[in-house]
Amino acid sequence: MRGGGNGSGGEPWPWPPCDERLCSALPLRALIPVTAVCLGLFAVGVAGNVLTVLVIRGYRDMRTTTNLYLGSMAVSDLLILLGLPLDLYRLWRSRPWIFGQLLCRLSHYLSEGCTYCTILHITALTVERYLAICFPLKAKVVVTKRRVKAIIGALWAFAFLSAAPFFFLVGVEQADNQTDFSRECKPTPQAVESGLLGTMFWVTTAYFVLPVACLHVLYGCIGRQLWRSGVPLRGPDAALREKGHRQTLRILVVVVLAFVICWLPFHIGRIIFISTQDTRMMLFSQYFNIFALQLFYLSASINPILYNLISKKYRAAAYKLLLPQRSAERAFTVTKDAGGYTETSASASTRNEYTTTF
């Protein structure tokens, strides 16, 4: 249900011919570029998110509280990307569904659960940064790695508990008096007729709108704390802490903006799908949802690219992980001064985890 529906379940929409050889949701001229884009996103997203998890797990100085959230989000994005091949299969051959009832339900359930999980992670991470920047002394006591790990576990449990109804709202449906060719993985008639499907779509939209509103308020408070005049950070290494906060904030703002831009069409498409009965609007909804589907998977692929573009620390850790021999050669640089040669370490010293993340 990432795209809302595929229009191939017998509805009187002007789709391409559907027979036992070909039953696609798009004309071939549109299907090929969509498939190419999705395969590219799959390759980049899987490689990037696996790299993010390995970087955070592999280097002790990368295991900050903020990076624990980002590493957990990378796992969520990986699970989302696992559903991409099945969505491509549905685009090329919407029926018959050959993967069974369990995989039909599980694929939609995982997608919804990880969708909820990602937005909850972003919200919790922003709250953590708000405490670290606006209440640094309290944050050192309250925000610990053990508590963050417990919060992450609770976020996963709550997200998948919230998404549980989707497991029962979809299934493999077969038209009466039809051959096995008519088997299709889609919302059940009971879910549509009872209104439960529409209700859950609105719940998903609320999962997007309410956290985004919360993020807007929190970033307003953080920005006011960092940039208002006459209230500099106090204590030892104040300049270093302020620089670390600004670096972290830049990363999080870009991640949140990418999340909103990529997921807003996804929710708009769902609202159009459940709100219209007009055939032309349904056709528009179909194409719009396929566009939104690509943005949906872009959101699961883009974060490692953003980390690499913004964070020198992430680039250095990824370089060290991928090219350990060359990284060792660059670990020390030799510089010449007036008194001879001096050997200096190229790696930065470990700092307080509230000042350095990615």
Which tokens belong to 243?
């620089």
What pLDDT is stored for residue 332 in this prediction? 47
Alpha helices for 59-83 (secondary structure H): 65-82
Residues of the chain scoring pLDDT < 70: 1-23, 25, 175-181, 228-248, 327-358
SS3 category, 1: coil
What pLDDT is stored for residue 342 in this prediction? 35
Q: Which residue has the tokens 């997200």?
A: 159
Contacts of residue 178, Cβ cutoff 8 Å, sequence gap at least 6: none
Task: Provide CATH code, domain 28-345.
Answer: 1.20.1070.10
What pLDDT is stored for residue 245 in this prediction? 63
Dihedral pair phi/psi, residue 337, rounded to 5°:
-125, -170
DSSP 305-316: HHHHHH-HHHHH
What pLDDT is stored for residue 306 in this prediction? 85
Q: What angle do CA 316, 321, 324 make, to 5 degrees?
A: 95
**H-run or E-run covering 335:** strand 332-337
**H-run or E-run covering 343:** strand 340-345
Domain spans, the chain: 28-345
What pLDDT is stored for residue 316 in this prediction? 86
Q: Count the neighbouring beta carbons within 10 Å of the beta carbon of residue 19.
A: 7
Contacts of residue 139, Cβ cutoff 8 Å, sequence gap at least 6: 128, 131, 132, 354
DSSP 280: H
Enter the pTM of the model.
0.79
What pLDDT is stored for residue 81 in this prediction? 95
